[in-house]
Each structure stands twice: as C-alpha cells, then as structure tokens.
Amino acid sequence: MGQSITRKIIQQHLKEGEPKAGFPVAVGIDQTLTQDATGTMAYLQFEAMGINRIRTELSVSYVDHNTLQNGFENADDHRFLQSFASKYGLYFSKPGNGICHQVHLERFGVPGRTLLGSDSHTPTGGGIGMLAVGAGGLDVALAMAGQPFHLTMPKVVNIRLSGSLKPFVSAKDVILEILRRLTVKGGVGKIMEYSGPGVASLDVPERATIANMGAELGATTSIFPSDEKTRIFLKAQDRESSWIPLAADPDAAYDETLEIDLSGLEPMIARPHMPDQVVRVADLAGTRVQQVAMGSCTNSSFRDLSVISQMLKGKRVHPEVSVALAPGSRQVVRTLMDRGEWQAIVDSGIRILENVCGPCIGMGFSPCSNAVSLRTFNRNFEGRSGTKTAGVYLCSPETAAAAALTGVITDPRTLGASVKPPALPDRFPVDDAMILPPSADPGKVEVLRGPNIKPLPVKEPLPGSLSGGILLKVGDHITTDHIMPAGAKILPLRSNVPALAEFVFEAVDPTFAKRAKAAGGGFIVGGVNYGQGSSREHAALAPMFLGVTAVITKSFARIHLANLINFGIVPLTFVNEADYDRIEQSDEVEIDVTGLKAGSEGAALTLKNKTKRFDASLTHSLSARDIALIRAGGALAYAKRSS
C-alpha cells in the first residue's frame, strides 16, 4: 500500500512511536517560528533550559502582532526578541517586514520539511508542501532545544479537488465551503491532505490560504503536494534549490475522503460569530456594511491584493464604509508597486495599515458599535475585533472589495467588471534587509530586558488529590479569546503573567481572576471543543498562575489540550455528558489523581461533588508522557529534571 504525503514526511522525521492514527508519536522538527505575542514567553522558557544555541535547522522570530507602540512594553519586548535571536542563533524579522506566515512562505519554507510555530496558523506552510503545525510556545522552545514534538498521530483526510475556480471565486471560498460541510470541530484529530486534478489549477498563495484556514476546522494541519507550481513559486523567490517534488503514491491509503468540485463553487461568507456559519454571499446580498478590512495571514498575498487593485482601479470606496488594508509583506507591496497596481489601491481611499496582523487580533481598526464588518480574515469570534457588539463576517478579497465599493454585501459576480487572476511574476523583488541574521559572535551579545518582562511562573508537582470549587462553568466552543483575550489593551502584558492573569475570562466573567485568587484556585468546567482558536499558551499559563488545577469538559481543542498538559493542569472529560448538567459553578469537588495513568484502567477517575453529594465518572486521553509532564508540574519542569 502506498503512502500519503503526510505519512512520508512523518516517517522520515519519526523519533518515537508508530504512525498509526490514535497512537502517540514524536516527530523531529526542522524549522520553528514565533511571533511577538507568543515569542517572549517561548524564549524565556528556552533560556530556562540552559542551552546556549538553537538546535534546529532554522528558527525565525517575527514581530507582526504586537506592533502598536503606545507605551514602552511592546518596544521593550521587540528589543528583547531581537537581542535574543542574535545571541541564540535565530533570524529576526523586524516590525513592518510582514506577517510571519506570509514571510515564511516567501523566504524560508521548504517542501518536505517540518515546521513548528507558536501560532495556530502555522499550517499556512502546508501550501508549499511543509508539514507545518501550530503549537504552544513551550513546545516550540523544546523543539529549538532539539527535542521532538509529541502528538497523537492524526487521521489523514484526502480532500480531492477537481475542476477549476470560476471568475470572482477564490481559495477563500474553497475553505469556507469545507467549513460549511465539516464545521469548526470537523478536523479535530485529523490532517487535511489535498490531491486531485484541481490542485494544479491553484498557485502557492491560493493553496496557502486554504491551508491557513484549515486551523478553523480544528485540524492538526493541512498539506498540498510540492509540484511544478511550487517550483515556479520558489524560483520566483530565488529559492529554486529548495524545491523537491513531493506527492502521494497513486495507491496511498487515507482514513477519509472528501470530494470538492472547484467549478461548482460560488462566493461564500461566514456569518457571526463562528467561521463555520457559512452561507452563499447571494443569500445576504443587500445587507448594509459599515466596515471592510482586507489582509491578514489568510488573504494578504500578491495574488489577493492584485485582484483587489483590479476591482478598485478608477473607483473610490463607498463614502459610508470605513475600509482598510494590511498587506502581508513588504515584498507584496513592492511587487504591486513594480507592476503599477499599488496606485489604484491608494487612490481608492482605502486606509493603508502596516504589514502586520493588526485588526485580525483587535490591534487597531476596531469597528463601530453594532457594525457589520466584512473581513478577509480567518476568525470572527465575538469581540475579537475589539468591539463586542460588532458582527464580523469572513469572506474573500473579491467579496470584500465588492462591499467596499457598494456599501452593502454584494456578490462580486454581479458587478460586471472582469478580473483576471494574476500570474505570479517570474521573479519577486527579493529584499531581506529587514530580516536580521544571528550574530557571528554571540558571546558578545547581551539579551536586553525591559521591566515588563517578569520571571516564569513555577508550578508545584501534582499532589495526590485535587480539591476546591468550580470557579467557572462555560458552554460549548469556548475559544482562547474567551479565556485570554487579545487586543491593544492586553497583548502588551504577554511577558508579564501576574498582570496578564487579571484578564483571564474577562469577556465571560470579569470577576473570575479576583474570585480565583480569593479561593486559592480550583476547577473550570466546559462544554464541547473547549479552547478552540489560537495557539496562545497564555490561555493555560495564566489560569495556572491563578491556581486552576484541572479543566473538565465534554471535549478539548488540540492545541489548548497540549498547552494545559505543558503547564501541569489536568485535562479531564465527562464519561457521561449528563453529569455536565448536574455540576454548577461554586460546587465544591474533589478528584483523587493518585491512580492517574495511561490506558483504559488509569483513565477512569471519579469526581466527588461534595456540595450536591454525587459522583461523576471522568476519563482522559493522556499518554504516559503527558502524565509524567503533569506530575512534574509541567513540561519545563519535566525537561529540566530529565536533562
């Protein structure tokens, strides 16, 4: 039986285990990336291991999230990141150079390599044939230290593409259609591998868009073949030597298959407040729009902005719509300038933002109260834009540009103008002046720290019994934005856990942090897909700082589950979901964890509800290594003890 692309790469990088769905494996990591909102903590964790140089083939520190410098905190963090990279052997992409996923695709991605990034949209690299996985910062720190990445081997889903996209239908519509079919939990425990004749009709930026937003399916990652289109892209980046052909064997076996006819797709849009609330754009046509935001790591490539330029040429945006654009990289802007397409964007009346994530994580350009905001981004969680009352809709660049011109949600096919998907240039304008290499003399480099960078919190080893109150009970699909909000007010505190912890669950219950500290810690109860969304480990680290010892849910999202384990918080699930309904906030409970171990026997635990006087059966999916990490007080304590 032949192998899929996924299994080929995993087999080549396998360090431990058997690559069989549901079994624990450890995979060697070739490259890592961080961004500034997660990077400072990852590098503090790396420092704590006492290693003087990274042990990966390549690691890059990007600054693209936390760039609003309205105080010393962000500027100090950027200085720390630059000095750390110089000393420890990383490349450093300066603020304004571009969004990490776009720049990594352009300048560093290599087909067949493994990439671990402290950002949930790291799977963007799958567009170039990488096995690229998002993870918490501590997992990335461990990878930089030369340790493999541990995970449960996912199922591999074959998404077969046929046909080709029609005018005004783009890659964003492909992934929105998949989200419509599978939902935000449809990819949990799975890798999405694309194949079929339709793949050849998509260039690398289009593939990257689809792979990027596979994170919203809950998928471990997504991956495309490395073919002639990949070679052409890398050649245009002066990196043809990095190209290798990579495809599944003709008789490759998959766990599931999904068929998508690209020719049958039409413009799609996700309604508030979940990426899977997808309908046809035509179904919402005429809805008044107050804001349009274009860019983000999902849709800020040259291909996307060229289409926007064509649609805006000779026109001005609607006077009642606030429109902004955040390009993906300096290279994208320079390419548009060289081709004479940048002028149309500037002349249209669009606000030009930095080459950063920006509005996608609530860092500026928040909508007005009760606004309808169309965004080419990847997430539309309630309040993520910075305005809780706004309704954020996710759409393609074509649909966004149409709304910017007309002031209402508009099927771009009805505008009448023709748009030609651009061919990639033979050579992109390559300028790596804002990517700084590490120092050739690291012994002379001093790592510079501002006063906002605080020491790492330490967790004690796991006791034999956990007891306390239910601090909070929440429902289904609680995101990391609910647990640990982003935005301009909170992101500057990412290096200061004591200050950051004051905002845990602020969007759900502003009294949570105060109550948790007063109680000396306790438990959280959640519903289905708890912790979906970003890779931010602070959504586990800050609750740990507040004394949360266990989280009990109906089910977990992958990255957050790993982050809880990494910080010594016990993740448990209800055997009988009816017990979720019986437990209430403030109930006093106790769990004996002396018998916590891997396997069916050790997975059976009992929650004793001392307030209501009933027992609830709990289970877990922890491996023997996971349990060892939790017992030690987290992955960092375990790594230091094992070294």
* pLDDT tens sequence across 3-40: 999 999 999 999 999 999 999 999 999 999 999 989 99
Q: How many Å apart are CA 153 and CA 202, to the nearest integer?
A: 28
The residue among 219, 196, 224, 220 whose CA lies nearest residue 209 is: 224
pLDDT at 369: 96
Find the range with the poorest average confidence among 81-85, 158-162, 623-627: 623-627
Averaged pLDDT, 256-267? 97
Do residues 491 and 618 share a domain? yes
91: domain CATH number? Answer: 3.30.499.10
Among 382, 399, 414, the domain-final residue is: 414
- Give me the pLDDT at residue 130, please: 98
As beta bridge partners, residue 556 has: 530
Q: What percent of the chain has pLDDT over 90?
A: 86
Task: Indicate the residue among 414, 437, 457 that finishes a domain.
Answer: 414
Q: Tell me what pLDDT residue 534 has.
A: 84
Q: Which residues are catalytic?
A: 64-65, 119, 379, 534, 536
Q: Quick check: is 381 in a domain?
A: yes
pLDDT at 527: 96
Pairing of strands 435-436, 391-394: unpaired
Q: Which amino acid is at 505?
A: F
Establish if 128 belongs to a structural domain: yes
Q: Do 549 and 401 reside in the same domain of the chain?
A: no
Is residue 570 scored above 70 in pLDDT? yes
Whether residues 258 and 279 fall in one domain: no
Overall average pLDDT of the 319-331 stretch: 97
pLDDT computed for residue 491 by the predictor:
82
Q: How confident is the model at residue 256 (pLDDT cuts 50, 70, 90)?
A: very high
CATH no. for residue 561? 3.20.19.10
> Which pLDDT band holds residue 55 (cuts at 50, 70, 90)?
very high
Whether residue 643 is predicted with pLDDT greater than 70 in this model: the reply is no
Q: Is 448 domain-assigned?
A: no
Instruction: Give the bridge partners for 12, in sequence order.
Output: none
Report the pLDDT value the prediction gives residue 210, as an integer from 0 to 100: 98
Specify whether 153 is located in the same domain as 298.
no
Whether residue 456 lies inside any domain: the answer is no
What whole-number distance in Å separates Cα of residue 306 and Cα of residue 387? 30
| Span 350-383, pLDDT tens digits | 999 999 988 888 888 899 999 999 999 999 988 8
Q: Are residues 240 and 294 in the same domain?
A: no
64 shares its domain with 213:
yes
Q: For the segment 429-442, what is each residue's pLDDT rounded down to a tens digit?
A: 999 999 999 999 99
- Residue 433 within a domain: no
Token pair 């990383």 is found at: 90
Residues 388 and 305 in one domain: yes
Q: Please give the pLDDT value at position 490.
A: 84
| Burial (Cβ within 10 Å: 0-12, 13-18, ≥19) of residue 28 | middle
Residue 67: the pLDDT is 83
Is the pLDDT assigned to residue 333 strictly greater than 90?
yes
* Domain of 508, in residue numbers: 465-642
Does 403 reside within a domain? Answer: yes
> What is the C-alpha separation between 597 and 626, in angstroms, rounded?
9
For residue 216, CA distances in Å to 275, 477, 523 come to: 7, 12, 27
Segment 65-69 mean pLDDT: 83
What is the b/e burial string over 395-429, where b = at least 16 CB atoms within 10 angstroms of the residue's CB?
Answer: bbbbbbbbbbbbbbbbbbbebeeebeebebeeebe
Q: Does the pLDDT value for residue 407 go beyond 80?
A: yes
Whole-number Å distance between alpha carbons of 358 and 196: 35
Is residue 36 a part of any domain in this protein? yes
For residue 161, which of 200, 212, 132, 190 has the smallest C-alpha distance?
200
100 and 55 share a domain?
Answer: yes
User: 3-state class of 595 per DSSP?
Assistant: coil
pLDDT of residue 455: 85
Q: Give the largest CA-CA distance in the chain.
A: 73
Domain membership flag for residue 438: no
Q: How many residues does the chain have?
A: 643
Asked if 233 and 324 sit in the same domain, the reply is no
For the range 310-314, what are the long-range contacts, defined as Cβ-Cβ under 8 Å and sequence gap of 24 or more? 310/341, 310/344, 310/417, 310/419, 310/420, 311/398, 311/401, 311/402, 311/405, 311/412, 311/415, 311/417, 311/419, 312/344, 312/345, 312/347, 312/348, 312/350, 312/401, 312/404, 312/405, 313/344, 314/344
Residues 256 and 279 in one domain: no
pLDDT over 70 (residue 600)? no
Residue 69 has a pLDDT of: 77
Q: How many domains does the chain have?
A: 3
**Phi-psi label, residue 183: left if phi above 0, alpha if psi -120 to 50, beta otherwise:** left
Q: In the predicted model, what is the mean pLDDT of the chain?
A: 94
The answer to whether residues 212 and 130 touch, using CB atoms and an 8 Å cutoff, is no
Report the pLDDT averaged over residues 112-116: 98
Q: Which of 264, 292, 322 is the last residue of a domain?
A: 264
At 165-215, the pLDDT tens digits run 999 999 999 999 999 999 999 999 999 999 999 999 999 999 999 999 999
Q: Are residues 244 and 280 in the same domain?
A: no
Residue 272 and residue 173 share a domain: no
Q: Is the pLDDT of residue 418 over 80?
A: no
pLDDT for residue 602 is more than 80: no
